[in-house]
Amino acid sequence: MKILACNSNRPLAEAIAEYLTMSITKAVIRRFSDMEVFVEIHENVRGEDVFVIQSTCYPANDNLMELLVTLDALRRGSARRITAVIPYFGYARQDRKSSPRSPISAKLVANLITTAGADRVVTLDLHSGQIQGFFDIPLDNLYAAPVFTNDIRARYQGDDVMVVSPDVGGVVRARAIARRIDADLAIIDKRREKAGVSEVMNIIGDVRGRRCIMVDDIVDSAGTLCNAAEALMKAGAVSVAAFVTHGVLSGGAVARVTASPLEELVITDSIPATEAVKLAHNIRQVTIAPLMAESIQRISEERSVSSLFD
């Protein structure tokens, strides 16, 4: 087995390699003067089981192209099996036609990854389950729930906790966390007038006197989370925290979170933290390196991955 890291999330790749007591395969992934991607692998990969670690986060197109060119280089280097490990799968929110003459970009990206040479894909908390069906190769969709559950138990032991889904679409994800920590579930009913703008309409469930924990897969502009936090506090919640797998946090999202009633926003390192995230007083990052490393080990040894989440 070999671990190869592209440039989008080098710290996570190094943490995964350290957990597996392996070194990262020597390779050069750089740009020509016109920003074309060039990949050169400096180790023999013929007949090897290779795992390429690359989040397709900002800059999404550059990082996606890095992944595709690396997959092609490994395929032409006669690797036995190539697994694309994509902690954050970009374009996942474009998983359906949201308006006439609009693309289904998640399907296009799935086709590109398959054509480039991937034999298998490993990702974390896909935005929607149907994306698994966009791939004609095996896909393992991991869940951050065990990582979040351990953190919640350590920090909220003995508290009157209520898990909250910030929208109807995230109920399954929130219910899974609530079941693990034996907590009640509430749902935010909101109406979104346009992309990036949300308005909280109603809270389904009694949150008075409870410590609320919102659970979601992606925080981008943070408008939904901050609006929901304000609504929960107005409804009588003692405190509001949020556990979100992918901290995209674009634009003024960090400033919005720091100025909000959110006691804490916990994100994973599926996307590397910016300097603003590191300096924010109420944003904290937890690592998914052991989870990803254990999954990689099990795939390489042809063992069950799903049993990690039992």
**Three-class SS state of 161:** strand
Supply the Cα-derived Rg of the chain in whole angstroms. Answer: 20
Q: Secondary structure of the chain: what % helix, strand, coil (to 5)?
A: 35, 30, 35
Residues that constitute the known binding site for D-ribose 5-phosphate: 192, 216, 220-224
**CA dist., res. 72 & res. 50, Å (int):** 12
At residue 214's C-alpha, the angle toward residues 208 and 219, to 5°, is 145
Q: Any idea which residue has 């490993």 for tokens?
A: 122
Find tokens 């609320």 and name the residue.
212
Alpha-carbon distance values, 40 to 8, 27, 117 (Å): 17, 6, 16
Q: Any bridge partners for residue 121, and if so which?
A: 84, 139
Contact by Cβ (8 Å): 88, 271 = yes
The C-alpha atoms of residue 185 and residue 283 are separated, in whole angstroms, by 23
Binding residue positions for ATP: 34-36, 93-94
Alpha-carbon gap, residue 274 to 262, rounded angstroms:
19
All residues at 6 or more sequence positions from 178 whose CB lies less than 8 Å from its CB, including other chains? 163, 184, 185
Contact 225, 282 (CB under 8 A): no
Residues 6+ apart with CB under 8 A from 278: none
Write out the catalytic residue numbers. Answer: 190
